[in-house]
Structure 1
Amino acid sequence: MKLKVIVTLCALITVTRQARQHDKCVCELSNTGKAFPHDKLSTVEDNASKCTNNITPQKTLELESLLLGLERRLPRLLEDVSMLEKEDDGDLYAVLSLQVVENELTEIKQLIDRLNGTTLGHQQLTTETNKQLEDLRAEMVQLETYDTTQVVKGHQDNHRLRKDLDQCRNTLFPTIQPTQRPHGYCPHGQFRNITTPRVYTAGEYAGSYKYGAWGRDPKPEAGKESWYWRVMLTSGDKHSNYVRLYSSLSALIVGVAKPGSVMIHSSNPTTNTIQGPNVVLYGGALYYNCYNKPDVCRFNLTTTTVTTLELPRGTRFNSKGNFCHLDECYPYTDLDLATDESGVWVIYTTSQDFGNLVLSKLEEGDPPTLGQTWRTSVYKQGVTNTFMACGVLYVTRYVNKDTEEIFYSFDTATGAERFNVGIFIKKMTPNIYSLNYSPVDKILHAYGDAYMVTYKVLFS
């Protein structure tokens, strides 16, 4: 019995030694498929990237802005021609009105020429892009033949199934639409851009009154829907004691002030007269920085009475918290009044906020009251102007004598701040001393160096 066990163990040892004589195990793998063309895939990716760079939202926005400009100009031209026919006195006024109409016709022709050029460029771009897409489609179909394990086909099938599943869920459990608009809702959509200047005029005082403001009443009284207003700082470019009213835009351009000036006080400056260029008109009342006080004045144009609102303790005034750029500061711009779809706002700064912009909503009333307040992270003396649109504060800065940039925004609905808005304003004069947004026609009114300019605000 013991002998058999010994023999078996010897045999096992021999076999093990024979197996260890083989040092390597070599496997040969032969690929019968074609080698994947990585260079071709890289070329397809480059072509797709170039195609994406050629088709940009800016190209569509350019066409849209031209169409909007034309859409606005044509009714305006019709109104001015009708006014010329009604008010033609055969004298100086008719000549000035005719000149306005001729200028509008020239600008409309320029718009149409630009629109035709843009349309031809887009047609050529569309033709080239269609050819590029067809070439890319053919190359991708050829590349899919290398997908022998059908990984790509599996991804496509999964994507199709997910899409069908989402449609099925939405059919069975439809989303209930809210009955009320969400907070911060803007009826126009998202602020996207502004057009080039639409109106550029010195009005009746060519070259005079460097500082001031102008615009429309977003909440006009009945019969005053087409009126425009203008405030000019007449006392040392710092103060004013009246507001000038015009029955239409063409009347403002040619300098026919009807019904004319409404006086706040016979003296200038004095208690409760205007200080600084940042003025707005809303609901038949003028809102502005009171003379020599950190207060908001409300001047009722009908009753010619003034009520005041005291701003928080430490509010900077008398040129202690101006708008500035590297070369200069704009005097007496401590308080900036603004209007939008919801009413009147005041933008200012305080000593306890270390010079950063503070935004407060003004609640309507006589006198007005201070509503909710927001604090921002942007330094007031590092910016040149502000305006409101749909509850969002927009802030500008000086780039050069030809360009201003809307670089910052603050959303009062969410508290979100953006420092990269990147919308540029083409200036007709080196400085913009006041900006007023009109929600009536979505126009931005700028005043600077005695000239009045308008820009169309583009929403998505």
Structure 2
Amino acid sequence: MKLYVIVSLCALFTLTQQVTELDSLLLGLELRLPQLQEDVSMLQRENDEQLYGVISLQVIENELMQINQLVARLKSATLSHQRLTANTTEQLEDLKAEMQELEAYDSTGVVKSQQTNQRLKKDLDQCKSGLHPTTEPIQPPRGNCPHGQFLNISGPSVYTAGEYPGSYKYGAWGRDPKPEAGKESWYWLVMMTSSNKFSNYVRFYSSQSSLIAGVSAPGNVMIHTTNPTTNTIQGPNVVLYGEALYYNCYNEATVCRFNLTTKTVINFQLPKGTRFNSKGNFCHLDECYLFTDLDLATDESGVWVIYTTTQDFGNLVLSKVEESEPLRLSQTWHTSLYKQGVTNTFMACGVLYATRYVNKEVEEIFYSFDTTTREERFNVGVFISKMSPNIQSLNYSPVDQMLHAYCDSYMVSYNVLFG
């Protein structure tokens, strides 16, 4: 009788997995359909045959493609769910009949019943070791990530206005993936303190609790006393790596590296045709984020820069930054993703991820580019619950596998879930 119950539970567990899959697909459709209707209405209102209309049309085409994929998966999952329900019911009826027969056996049938139980136990073990979802996961394994497969983003784990509530709309924050000894728990913060565009210092906090409470014991490290000026920070997409701040140099298509120890700046020019000075921003249909032409990012392997060029017609270009002197790019990849249809990017395990604005409460990680396989995907389908309508910068921290978002002056962090 115990074995009968265990086999039944195994079948019911598989059935539960199917129900969860259906719930997930239905949620995806529920989020996408109203947004698609709104975007189509906006495109009809624009009708200007200019660049903005092209962006709207591209977003709508991507949404239609993803909705069709969701419907196809929903049909497949529904049919599979129906088959599994029928098979489970049949299996339970067969087991019930078999148990009734076993109960009617006399002592001469003991050996046969033991053989039956052994066979059923073997089937149960195979069931336990062979459970797999009937549909493919959203994101197949990528590259050589030590954490496993990128699966999802958790709800916010940190949400704080910090030391200057509501004062600086644009900025960035996070942790140094390669910190100096004794600074492993430190957090950094860069706010655009001049016109939401420029900054001339990086601010430090000795712990997460100090960051949330707004107590900066280490204080500021100044790049220059004037803001803005040569080699100061332009735009919010900055990162800290190996005790150095990487950012877009003021008024140039150039990456600067500010050494926190020596207080010196070195830089290098990006390829000819690189867009800067707010000509290649992250955008959604309602707004573009100022001076986001260059996006610096970190992952397990170091520092990256994401940008656009006239030669690539505004599509995202990704380059690896070498930690050398002089600074240089080691390798470059070209994508087919148009940047002004994207709101943010980040790197994790050598894979570029891009987000887009769904509504005031939700952002979607919809795109990935694997630098190992050069494979592009436009249907990643991972949703981020936002605490504020806009995410001005998004940094991945390989130290603790967290996403650090700067949202309309609020600092928010999310756990990145790997499998």
Same fold (TM over 0.5): yes
Tell me if 1:54 matches 2:19.
Answer: yes
SS in 2 for 1:196: strand
Residues 338, 50 of structure 1: CA spacing in aligned structure 2 closer, same or farther, 3 A cutoff? same
Amino acid in the other structure paired with 1:54: V
Determine the structure 2 residue equivalent to 1:373.
332
For the pair 1:318 / 2:277, whether they are aligned, the reply is yes
1:86-105 equivalences under 5 Å are none
TM-score (norm 2): 0.70
State how far apart, in whole Å, the 2-side matches of 1:353 and 1:221 are: 38
Matches of 2:217 and 2:87, distance apart in 1: 60
Tell me what 2:358 maps to.
399
Q: Quote the residue 2:347 is aligned against.
A: 388
Q: Does 2:406 align with 1:447?
A: yes
| AA partner of residue 286 (structure 2) | D
Aligned to 1:111: none
Query: CA 1:238–1:188 in structure 2 vs 1: closer, same or farther (change >3 Å)?
Result: same
Structure 2 counterpart of 1:357, which letter? L
Q: Tell me the SS of whatever aligns to 2:156.
A: coil
The SS at the match of 2:164 is coil
Question: How many angstroms apart in 2 are the aligned matches of 1:279 and 1:325?
Answer: 21
SS at match of 1:373: strand
Change (3 A) 1:134 1:405: closer
Structure 2 Cα separation of the partners of residues 305 and 289 of structure 1: 15
Alpha-carbon deviations, 1:30-71, whole Å to 9, x = none? xxxxxxxxxxxxxxxxx9997663254989xxxxxxxxxxxx
Counterpart Cα distance in 1 of 2:177 and 2:16: 44
Partner of 1:137: 91
Q: How do 1:65-214 residues align onto structure 2 when only pairs under 5 Å count?
A: 135-138=89-92, 184-214=143-173
Question: Is the contact between residue 298 and residue 367 of structure 1 (CA under 8 Å) also seen in structure 2?
Answer: no
The question of whether the paired residues in 2 share the 8 Å contact of 1:212 and 1:277 is answered with yes
TM-score (norm 1): 0.64
2:298–2:347 CA contact under 8 A, matched in 1: yes
Aligned residues of 2:142 and 2:351 also touching (Cα < 8 A): no
Q: Structure 1 residue 133: deviation in Å?
A: 7.0
- How big is each residue's C-alpha offset from its partner over 1:183-240, in whole Å with a ceiling of 9 and x where there is no partner? 9311000100000111100111011011000000000011110000000001100000
Match status 1:348 vs 2:313: no
- What is residue 250 of structure 2 aligned with on the other side? 291
Runs of 4+ residues over 6 Å off in structure 1: 47-50, 130-133
Supply the AA of the counterpart residue of 1:137: Q
Q: Relative to structure 1, is the Cα distance of residues 262 and 418 closer, same or farther in structure 2, using a 3 angstrom cutoff?
A: same
Corresponding residue for 2:67?
none
Within 5 Å, which residues of 2 pair with 1:411-422? Answer: 411-422=370-381
Match of 1:259 in 2: 218
In the comparison of the two structures, how many residue pairs are matched?
307
The answer to whether 1:221 aligns with 2:177 is no
Report the 3-state secondary structure (helix = DSSP H, G, I; strand = E; otherwise coil) of the residue aligned with 2:209.
helix
The one-letter amino acid paired with 2:369 is F
Report the 3-state secondary structure (helix = DSSP H, G, I; strand = E; otherwise coil) of the residue aligned with 2:389.
coil
Whichever of the two has the greater Rg, that structure is: 1
Other structure's SS at 1:298 match: strand
| Alpha-carbon distance, 1:132 to partner | 8.3
User: CA 1:48 to 1:198, structure 2 compared with 1: closer, same or farther past 3 Å?
Assistant: closer
**Structure 1's 198 and 138: CA in aligned 2 closer, same or farther, altered over 3 A?**
closer
Alpha-carbon RMSD: 2.6
**Higher RCO (C-alpha 8 Å, min separation 6):** 2
Query: Following the alignment from structure 1 to structure 2, what is the Cα–Cα distance between the partners of residues 49 and 213?
Result: 43
How much has 1:412 moved relative to structure 2? 0.2
Change (3 A) 1:58 1:457: farther
Contact 1:387 1:395 in 2 (8 A): yes
Task: Indicate whether 1:328 and 2:287 are aligned.
Answer: yes
**Structure-2 separation of matches of 1:227 and 1:49:** 44
1:53 is aligned with what amino acid?
Answer: Q
1:48 and 1:136 in contact (8 A); partners too: no
Distance in structure 2 (CA, Å) of the matches to 1:206 and 1:49: 48
1:448 shift after superposition: 1.5
- Amino acid of the residue matched to residue 18 of structure 2? N
Rounded Cα–Cα distance in structure 1 between residues aligned with 2:322 and 2:411: 29
- 1:239-293 Cα offsets, whole Å, 9 max, x none, are 0000001100111111111211000000000000000000000000000000000
How far does the alpha carbon of each residue in 1:340-365 deviate from its partner, in whole angstroms, 9 at most, with x for none? Answer: 00000000000000000000000112
Listed one character per residue, the Cα deviations across residues 9-44 of structure 1 (whole Å, up to 9, x for unaligned) are: xxxxxxxxxxxxxxxxxxxxxxxxxxxxxxxxxxxx
Question: How many percent identity over aligned positions?
Answer: 72
How far 1:136 moved relative to its partner?
A: 2.7
Q: Distance in 2 between matches of 1:193 and 1:55?
A: 15
